[in-house]
A and B are shown apart, each in its own frame.
Chain A
């Protein structure tokens, strides 16, 4: 018993130091990333804009006076007043509240749908790139047939077939984004599979799925992270478009695209709902793109 305990104690101590080292590594990684972002003005500006929207989304209840669904029939289509800093829409809802809560929608929907797209893209792209040959041929032709549709048309087909809902928007963006991601992953995997550490993994008899997950995937992460950020930007843009076409989230959910759709027919009378939502979409997309581009440029500069 005693020996057992001492050995388990020792093990714990070992684990602790291992955990400490892992944390140290993680912290070093963060510091390195911070230095990278700090040295690129583009990435810095992008990050500030994006973090601004994240702040708005998280603290929406504290920085707005009204609920986004609260209708006030005495205050319809008002211009900005100290009470309603961005005015009100056709139903008398506070535009600022809808923009702030809309940020929640888009900042949760965007990453989740892109994550879903990455899952699909990885499952298709990794084997295609690693095995090559007929596996690659079959996967690529499948993706080509998807890519043959204009993206927005593909989204419209999927949403009108499944009906507009939070979950279906995720599915549509996952299907629409997967081919591009799969192609990127495939290209990276085709390069990495020729590296000698992959041969070394084969020489210890590792099964193929383990090689793909342990040897290839972690080394794709740089380009994939940049692509992920860019795609959140595109997703925000497409979610807006779907909202405008009436295929986004069902009303009365606060949604930037939906706000433009609802407000555009009365634009000449009250431009504020449309303008606010448009500026919101534009700044978020540009912010994400600047962040991703700056990160990519800066990480490639000294190579």
Chain B
């Protein structure tokens, strides 16, 4: 869709839709009261979109939910004003707020599945708010709902109305929720990470929709996100929150091109860039973590993590100061930087060395996967099936996957969720059985499950997991869990286990004091580091990283990615990096495999994958990545529809049902050949090289 239209700067004749002044919110917990949000003020005008960004635990959602008093039984607005169209919302009775919430203020949540009632048809859920708030008849409410669904470009709107929530894909569910939110033509729309749970391709389409609807209906919107790229795409103004306070508030272009608070700068310096080739970009993580609101540092709350802090920063708490029109910063040194201009740049070299390109160095193949198939049997639903009288059906999670990885290199595997990238990773390490095919690791056949593999293969092939909360056993101390591995593989003599664990902890940038800590005393990033320490404890030849940073905050992501790079460089470890985030893959990987519905559709050196010509699916994935730069024109390549079922994958090219450049019957009937483009770049498509280049620029 189009760029966000510029908002008139001349003072609007009408008052802002929402004014929040000096808001403070307190939560009561068992031991004490915690002030989660302090001194937050902002305004949103008609048709304006205010983005609220920051790491998790910074009070973004709390600030937004306090507007409609959704704080839960232990939360309370203790100070400040919330003026909606000039009317005070604070201390309003619940019944009035409820009326307002349905008709004038709407909300869209992060988890579309849990926001929809699973036992009601979509039409009844949508009609409900029209019937309750506007007294429509049932028929009229249905007609309006249908119309609204069409306005959010829902394919087959009539059919969707009659379905239940579980029969819709995540993107469709979110579209329904947005349609529901827009039904009563609200004045204010509050969106809490509405695209975080969605795939990047779906996210792009939903963002297009939000931008367009807002423009058409002139709705004011508050958009909460941790993703700077997403905010750059939809917001006119951005408020950066840190530990319960707004530290910078400005128009989007100012925030991205001329950030004045070190925290804002830090957030941008730790983002990998999908358009920057490997080795040209350095990630600067923000050290430390967000302080708990119960235990704030004196003076500037960001000072302990700030690289630019001076002694005066810890003396007094800075106020939010307006430096230029509409640009407010909470930093005592901001004026200094405003006058000198940019004090940092993205290519600036810090302590971290850019990632070296190991493209031509290695010859030894460590891992060879040959036509591996991972199928899951579908449970029989009929009695005949139970007695073996029906053909068994399988979920084709990974189908005929072949690739090889050379020593010391990184293979990135990308694709939407459900494309089989995690499955193949688990099959390689032996956590999932292989239906057919062969996996060779260091010239040993490892096509069997873990308990049948030799201890050497197990030791040399380790894994880093995704969920920081599930990666460590909550019942044992950090040191014990790393020691388990050391004892099992007898990496070091028993008397040296403790010192070896401490050495490993230091290797992942944690000190010895972590030995006796329990996982619940660690932050997400620290847990992930311990997970990495455990994986490298046995000094493996290869580590498979399954979305190692996707559950972490951006600042922590950068630190973990840097750590993995450093470990790879010092130990010459071979890595497989599974990720849905193309930016981190571009930052990290030497080779990339793009998977779709269980198949590899394109594989080759990182640089050739990220440049043309590439597979239409790769093109769409790249186009969908939100860029943290408001001046980048959003790409027009969008995928429609959903990933088909892996039980009955489409004939011919599996991508043909969603392919924007399908050339005809051949795509539906014939499996496309693997076409080598030279330099190890292989594409699985019927289109020739020239056709691929032309079709993409033409569409």
Q: Which chain A residues have a beta carbon within 8 Å of chain B's beta carbons?
A: 11, 14, 21, 35, 39, 195-197, 199-206, 214-215, 218-219, 221, 301-302
Chain A contacts for B450, CB-based, 8 A: 202-203, 205
**Which of B31, B455, B463 is A200 in contact with, Cβ under 8 Å?**
B463
Cα separation A35 to B29 with both chains bound (whole Å): 13
Chain B contacts for A214, CB-based, 8 A: 473
Cα separation A71 to B590 with both chains bound (whole Å): 91
Contact A195 B470 (CB under 8 A): yes
Q: Which of B451, B471, B473, B531 has the most CB of A within 10 A?
A: B473
Q: Considering the complex, give the chain B residue whose CB is closest to the CB of A11.
A: B495
Interface code B497-538, partner A: CB below 8 Å = 1, 0 otherwise?
A: 010000000000000000010000000000000010010001
Q: Which 4 A-B pairs have the closest CB atoms?
A: A218-B475, A196-B465, A196-B470, A197-B473
Q: Considering the complex, give the chain B residue whose CB is closest to the CB of A197.
A: B473
Chain B contacts for A205, CB-based, 8 A: 450-451, 455, 458, 488
Interface code B461-489, partner A: CB below 8 Å = 1, 0 otherwise?
A: 01101110011111110000100110011
Closest approach, in angstroms, between the C-beta of A259 and any C-beta of chain B? 43
Chain B contacts for A196, CB-based, 8 A: 465-467, 470-471
Of residues 49 through 71 on chain B, the ones whose CB sits less than 8 Å from some CB of chain A are: none
**Which of A200, A202, A204 is B471 in contact with, Cβ under 8 Å?**
A200
Contact B431 A203 (CB under 8 A): yes
Chain B contacts for A204, CB-based, 8 A: 458, 484-485, 488-489, 538
Chain B contacts for A21, CB-based, 8 A: 516
Q: List 25 A-B contacts (CB under 8 A).
A: A21-B516, A35-B31, A39-B30, A196-B465, A196-B471, A197-B470, A197-B472, A197-B473, A200-B463, A200-B534, A201-B484, A203-B430, A203-B431, A203-B450, A203-B462, A203-B463, A204-B458, A204-B489, A205-B488, A215-B473, A219-B473, A219-B474, A219-B475, A301-B30, A302-B30
Cα separation A14 to B502 with both chains bound (whole Å): 15
Contact B465 A200 (CB under 8 A): yes
Q: A200-B463, A200-B465 are in contact. List 16 more A-B contacts (CB 8 A).
A: A11-B495, A196-B470, A201-B484, A203-B429, A203-B431, A203-B458, A204-B485, A205-B451, A205-B455, A206-B484, A206-B488, A214-B473, A218-B476, A219-B473, A219-B474, A302-B29
On chain B, the number of residues with a Cβ less than 8 Å from chain A's Cβ atoms is: 33
Chain A contacts for B481, CB-based, 8 A: 197
Contact B463 A199 (CB under 8 A): yes
Chain A contacts for B495, CB-based, 8 A: 11
Cα separation A204 to B470 with both chains bound (whole Å): 17
Cα separation A233 to B547 with both chains bound (whole Å): 47
Chain A contacts for B534, CB-based, 8 A: 200
Q: Considering the complex, give the chain A residue whose CB is closest to the CB of B429.
A: A203
Chain A contacts for B429, CB-based, 8 A: 203
Q: Considering the complex, give the chain B residue whose CB is closest to the CB of A199.
A: B431
Q: Which of A39, A202, A206 has the most CB of B within 10 A?
A: A202
Q: Considering the complex, give the chain B residue whose CB is closest to the CB of A221.
A: B475
Chain B contacts for A215, CB-based, 8 A: 473
Chain B contacts for A202, CB-based, 8 A: 431, 450
Chain B contacts for A11, CB-based, 8 A: 495
Of residues 443 through 463 on chain B, the ones whose CB sits less than 8 Å from some CB of chain A are: 450-451, 455, 458, 462-463
Closest approach, in angstroms, between the C-beta of B169 and any C-beta of chain A? 23
Cα separation A144 to B472 with both chains bound (whole Å): 35
Closest approach, in angstroms, between the C-beta of A284 and any C-beta of chain B? 29
Chain B contacts for A221, CB-based, 8 A: 475
Closest approach, in angstroms, between the C-beta of B275 and any C-beta of chain A? 33
Cα separation A200 to B473 with both chains bound (whole Å): 10
Cα separation A196 to B451 with both chains bound (whole Å): 17
Q: Considering the complex, give the chain A residue whose CB is closest to the CB of B455.
A: A205
Cα separation A301 to B481 with both chains bound (whole Å): 29
Contact A197 B471 (CB under 8 A): yes
Contact A35 B467 (CB under 8 A): no
Chain B contacts for A200, CB-based, 8 A: 463, 465, 471, 531, 534
Chain B contacts for A302, CB-based, 8 A: 29-30
Chain A contacts for B430, CB-based, 8 A: 203
Cα separation A219 to B520 with both chains bound (whole Å): 13
Closest approach, in angstroms, between the C-beta of B552 and any C-beta of chain A? 15
Closest approach, in angstroms, between the C-beta of A176 and any C-beta of chain B? 30
Cα separation A301 to B450 with both chains bound (whole Å): 40
Q: Considering the complex, give the chain A residue whose CB is closest to the CB of B30.
A: A39
Cα separation A181 to B488 with both chains bound (whole Å): 32
> Given A21-B516, A219-B475, A35 and B30 touching (CB < 8 A)?
yes
Closest approach, in angstroms, between the C-beta of A199 and any C-beta of chain B? 6
Chain B contacts for A218, CB-based, 8 A: 473, 475-476
Cα separation A39 to B31 with both chains bound (whole Å): 9
Cα separation A219 to B31 with both chains bound (whole Å): 25
Chain A contacts for B462, CB-based, 8 A: 203
Cα separation A201 to B480 with both chains bound (whole Å): 13
Cα separation A39 to B29 with both chains bound (whole Å): 11
Closest approach, in angstroms, between the C-beta of A16 and any C-beta of chain B? 14
Cα separation A35 to B488 with both chains bound (whole Å): 38
Chain B contacts for A35, CB-based, 8 A: 30-31
Closest approach, in angstroms, between the C-beta of B478 and any C-beta of chain A? 12
Q: Considering the complex, give the chain B residue whose CB is closest to the CB of A17.
A: B516
Cα separation A198 to B422 with both chains bound (whole Å): 17
Contact A199 B474 (CB under 8 A): no
Cα separation A110 to B534 with both chains bound (whole Å): 43
Cα separation A200 to B466 with both chains bound (whole Å): 12
